[in-house]
Structure 1
Amino acid sequence: MTRHLVTAHGIRHLLLAGRRGAAAPGAEQLGAELRELGARVTIAACDVADRGALAGLLADVPEEHPLGAVVHAAGVLDDGVISSLTPERIATVLRPKADAAVNLDRLTRHLDLSAFVLFSSAAATFGGPGQGNYAAANAFLEALAHRRRAEGRPAVAIGWGMWAERSEMSARLDEADLRRMDRGGIGALPTEAALALLDRCLAQDRVAPLPVSLDVAAIRKRRPEVPALLRGLAGRPARRTAAPAAGSGAGAESSTARSLAALPQTERDAAVLDLVRTEIATVLGHTSAGRVDARRAFGDLGLDSLTSLELRNALGRRTGLRLPATLAFDHPTPSAVASYLLEELLETGRTSAASGPDRTAAGEPIAIVAMGCRFPGGVRTPDQFWEFLASGGDAIGEFPDDRGWDTEALYDPDPEHEGTTYTRKGGFLTGVDRFDAGFFGVSPREALAMDPQQRILLEVRGLIMLPSRREDSSW
């Protein structure tokens, strides 16, 4: 993009600012290429989200070549489902996007700029799986561009789709990720096409253009799950006969359930397992369901929280069942999911419960089969909990040092001070950093993104089912 500004737009003086400056990968080579093209280039190490640092950088711009335009193209990803987006993870994404844009806006107000270009993302318009923080950051850029225009100042926020050329942001995407995006109908832009679209966006008077590569055929295949903004492109769906509403207990009325009921009982397990493996293969981008091992954990097969939700949605559409968002965690292998679906579809569990003998009697006490718990004060088992209560133990202690918290910055004696706490003590669980990801079939990357409360819940459930691990210090 920088080369294009020099070759196509005749830019001859460039100030390239980034946190790593010339130490960024390829920065020195880029600078040399731009100089060969006739441009004067300065590569500066500056965190644009730091207002003081940016003010210092702008103060050093020579008077004979004043700042004439701004292009803000920074971005950072930290994807995860909404429940895992902590304030820190949200700030990681918003700071280089939103904070930096605000600083550029405020510190250049006195300048007569010809352009103020913000690189936004299509995620601000369409959303994106696991990108709640990224969508919010880019939506902020577009709002800022609208405000500048309303004030009579130049601004455009370009809502880019993904570029085909790999960058630091897209390098983490694997083939399965790319195939999932293709199935959604939003493809990658070749560099030449993207640069041509950049020129069109700059030539138009629109505040928030949306240069995106759309595959209309793929979008139509997504019906009825087409995003509202794309339904006009997808066209009207074919008229169908109304079917019974799907819901809890409605599985037996679905076409899938009727098809299963018509099969011999010996063939039902295989039929449902084949359905599950087919949808897993689709989600992972495999060409054949034969590549899906029915006994392997979903984490080993390559599913993460986002693809697990995609699988759950696909199976819900195929079966007509309302499936829980935790389907892949509750039933961690394809064969386990198939067994669950078969029972739900044919309501075998409910039928057997209704026809079996009633082993309870009126007034019979509740039987506690197993217990598990985690409490502050190092309590990890029910026995420890009762002993702790009986002895009058105190679970309140100093802030833990295994959370990555800046405890000094977190404390302020003034109760009215925002963003801090006026106490240095509290009740905290111990060992929250010792999650055994391998035991639960969770990949290391997924374990880092997982909500800590979800990790604790998995461990407590594990302790209930496997009492022998209660003395395991790793838990």
Structure 2
Amino acid sequence: MASCDVADRDSLAALLAAIPAEHPLTAVVHTAGVLDDGVVSALTTRQLDTALRPKVDAAWHLHELTAGMNLAGFVVFSSLAGTFGGTGQANYAAANAFLDALAHVRRAQGLPGLSLAWGLWAERSGMTGKLGEADLSRLARGGVEPMPSEEGLDLFDVACTLDEAVLLPVRLVVEAMRDRVGEDAIPVILRSLIRTPVRRAVRASAAPADPVDSLTHRLAGMSEAERDGALLDLVRTHAATVLGYAGPDAIEPDRGFLELGFDSLSAVELRNLLGAATGLRLPATLLFDYPSTTVLVEYLRSELVPDVPAAILPALAELDRVEFALPELLADSSARATLGTRLQELLARVNGASATATAVEEKLESATDDEMFALIDELDLD
């Protein structure tokens, strides 16, 4: 047994050169990895280096320095994050995607290459030992279940007998993923396995079928106090889910999100949940820009319920329903033409009414007192 910094090319070369000829190197299994999570917009050079060095640099050095050794196996431990993506793990996902690509490159060169994109192991390691209940709950909601070590070792043995460059040994809970359909949380690679409901347009007289549509309609018919209450319940419910709390009552409205226990990863997850529930495109820094539930509710209300006369809110909600149905309608050329004609007619009426109102306003501004009194008399008669 010997220790070496595999990411240091000279150290690795010296170690390989020290292997006795009577006991040659026959296989490589690279398992190193280091986490340094953060949202992509805030990643630093140090965080990138922390995640990439033990995987990218080390694996590439092993690839180059063992190329002529006639190895029977070259196995690298990748991660599900490189295939599905991981909240707040852009650097780690990139490092593992490199390992997957390296396995393909080696096989194209006639060399052995296998990348195993592991899911979560039940047995804690240096990388997963700091995961709390909230982290495990987040993974479970995403459909990833911890894998017993015995099962992982069995899958390793099986994977080494298969003629594949990349394999994903992971425990997936399909039901958990299906429950998140409305959040578009199912990775593209799994959408042929997990059937999702077909989105269909609904008549104006029908009840809204989409949760986002339902929310905008409900808010449009509420008073300001009722809207704040509904949005407060929405934010507190999702926040409690992300943090693993028993219920929304555990989320104090005026208490800061960081004080409640949110970090960069859980903040992004809450942003995603609220974005799916409201239909808004929310910034990754949402919880830092609006640091408490109360402040966040004010922001959501301003985005969902524009500062316009209350009488127009139901009409705006109906337009939201049309916008939601557009992708399906635009796929049909006949429906697209009919819709376009109808929308142009409505727009012409709106523009015509605006032009008439403008003309009336200009006329009133220049009217004499006698003309004004005559107009009032005419309106009274009407």
TM-score range, shorter chain: 0.7 to 0.9
Instruction: Determine whether 1:339 maps to 2:301.
Output: no
Q: Name the SS for the 1:117 alignment partner.
A: strand
- Matching residue of 2:62: 104
Q: Distance in 2 between matches of 1:323 and 1:146?
A: 37
Q: CA deviation at 1:242?
A: 4.8
Residues 48-73 of structure 1: CA deviation (Å, up to 9, x unaligned): 11111111112222222111111111
Q: Name the SS for the 1:70 alignment partner.
A: strand
Q: 2:165 aligns with which of 162, 184, 207?
A: 207
Q: Distance in 2 between matches of 1:149 and 1:324?
A: 41
Q: 2:13 aligns with which of 55, 77, 91?
A: 55
- Matching residue of 2:255: 296
Q: Distance in 2 between matches of 1:116 and 1:243?
A: 58
Q: Distance in 2 between matches of 1:55 and 1:46?
A: 10
Q: Name the SS for the 2:181 alignment partner.
A: coil
Instruction: Determine whether 1:310 maps to 2:289.
Output: no
- Closer, same or farther: CA 255–160 of 1 in aligned 2, 3 Å: same
Q: 1:171 aligns with which of 109, 125, 129?
A: 129
- Closer, same or farther: CA 243–92 of 1 in aligned 2, 3 Å: farther
- Matching residue of 1:194: 152
Q: 1:216 aligns with which of 174, 189, 200?
A: 174
Q: CA deviation at 1:269?
A: 2.6
- Matching residue of 1:445: none
- Matching residue of 2:87: 129
Residues 86-114 of structure 1: CA deviation (Å, up to 9, x unaligned): 22321221111111111111222221211
Report the TM-score when normalising by structure 1: 0.60
Report the TM-score when normalising by structure 2: 0.74
Q: Distance in 2 between matches of 1:58 and 1:110?
A: 12
Q: Distance in 1 between matches of 2:53 and 2:199?
A: 48
Q: Where do 1:196-345 residues align within 5 Å? A: 196-224=154-182, 225=184, 226-242=186-202, 254-263=213-222, 265-345=224-304
- Closer, same or farther: CA 66–184 of 1 in aligned 2, 3 Å: same
Preserved contact between residue 7 and residue 58 of structure 2 (Cα < 8 Å): yes
Q: Distance in 1 between matches of 2:139 and 2:73?
A: 32
- Closer, same or farther: CA 61–131 of 1 in aligned 2, 3 Å: same
What do you get for the CA RMSD once the two structures are aligned? 2.2
Q: 1:145 aligns with which of 103, 127, 131?
A: 103
Q: Distance in 1 between matches of 2:81 and 2:58?
A: 19
Q: Distance in 2 between matches of 1:60 and 1:266?
A: 75
Letter in 2 for 1:288: G
Instruction: Determine whether 1:185 maps to 2:143.
Output: yes
- Closer, same or farther: CA 291–151 of 1 in aligned 2, 3 Å: same
- Closer, same or farther: CA 310–207 of 1 in aligned 2, 3 Å: same
- Matching residue of 1:459: none
- Closer, same or farther: CA 340–86 of 1 in aligned 2, 3 Å: closer
More helix by share: 2
- Matching residue of 1:414: none
Letter in 2 for 1:125: T
User: Taking CA–CA contacts closer than 8 Å with sequence separation of 6 or more, which of the two structures ends up with the larger relative contact order?
Assistant: 2
- Closer, same or farther: CA 258–110 of 1 in aligned 2, 3 Å: closer
Stretches of structure 1 that go unaligned for 5 or more consecutive residues are 1-41, 245-252, 355-475
Q: Distance in 2 between matches of 1:102 and 1:48?
A: 10
Stretches of structure 2 that go unaligned for 5 or more consecutive residues are 205-211, 313-382
Preserved contact between residue 39 and residue 264 of structure 2 (Cα < 8 Å): yes
Residues 136-176 of structure 1: CA deviation (Å, up to 9, x unaligned): 11111122211211121111111111211110011121111
Q: Distance in 2 between matches of 1:293 and 1:243?
A: 40
| Larger CA deviation: 80-89 vs 259-268 | 259-268
- Closer, same or farther: CA 240–98 of 1 in aligned 2, 3 Å: same
Q: Distance in 1 between matches of 2:199 and 2:101?
A: 39
- Closer, same or farther: CA 71–243 of 1 in aligned 2, 3 Å: farther
- Matching residue of 2:326: none
Preserved contact between residue 87 and residue 269 of structure 2 (Cα < 8 Å): no
- The structure with the largest alpha-carbon Rg is 2
Q: Distance in 2 between matches of 1:72 and 1:328?
A: 38
